Homo-oligomer: A and B are copies of this chain.
């Protein structure tokens, strides 16, 4: 990730009004006038700030009749907020690079012959391999309800809730308004 993009993100987000907008939208989408009302500012001012937030891709909009609702894009918010922590640390990713033999062994050890998951590895590297294996059956770009994810996981392991959370914590999926989506940048850490 290039430095300028990170700077732009923080510069944009480093403003009281814009942080307040982000905080408001965490509770769900709102239209411009509503935001202006809640913050005691005029619609043009809100428009100005929304444009800035759109530039860094942390909000998107959807029109309903005359009214445009602004939504928080939590996916990029997470990605960008954590980018500063990764500066200069790209090399350390090597620790998690995995070859086919390694992956094969882990899959053999942690999955039974009927395909069910025997246990979740404690070692981070192995856990990532297992999670990545599990997640492969999900479709890129599709959004899933929580229940759909649970039903997908159940055949592998009864503790679907833990695994669903691991998907998110491991960066494989992102959650937004209770909907889940595969993180396209995620079939990567490994390999």
A residues adjacent to B (C-beta < 8 A)? 3-4, 6-16, 19-20, 22-23, 26-27, 77-78, 81-82, 84-85, 87-89, 119-120, 122-124, 159, 162, 165-166, 169
- B124 and A169 contact, CB distance less than 8 A: yes
Q: How far is the CA of A124 from the CA of B122 in the complex (A)?
A: 11
Q: Other CB < 8 Å A-B pairs besides A8-B14, A123-B159, 12 of them?
A: A3-B16, A4-B16, A10-B14, A10-B19, A11-B15, A12-B14, A13-B84, A19-B87, A23-B87, A119-B122, A123-B162, A124-B169
With both beta carbons as reference points, the residue of chain B lying nearest to A83 in the complex is identified as: B81
Q: How far is the CA of A8 from the CA of B11 in the complex (A)?
A: 10
Give which listed residue, B88, B89, B159, contacts A122 with CB less than 8 A. Answer: B159
- A124 and B13 contact, CB distance less than 8 A: no
Nearest Cβ on chain B to A142's Cβ, whole angstroms: 24
Q: How far is the CA of A8 from the CA of B19 in the complex (A)?
A: 11
Number of copies: 2
Q: How far is the CA of A12 from the CA of B13 in the complex (A)?
A: 11
- B87 and A124 contact, CB distance less than 8 A: no
With a CB–CB cut-off of 8 A, which chain B residues contact A77?
84-85
- A14 and B16 contact, CB distance less than 8 A: no
Q: How far is the CA of A9 from the CA of B16 in the complex (A)?
A: 11
- B124 and A84 contact, CB distance less than 8 A: no
Give which listed residue, B22, B84, B120, B166, contacts A81 with CB less than 8 A. Answer: B84
A-B contact pairs, 20 of them (CB 8 A): A3-B16, A3-B19, A6-B19, A7-B19, A8-B14, A10-B10, A10-B11, A10-B15, A11-B15, A13-B14, A14-B14, A23-B88, A26-B88, A77-B85, A81-B82, A120-B122, A122-B159, A122-B166, A123-B159, A124-B166
A16-B3, A16-B7 given; A22·B84 CB < 8 A: yes
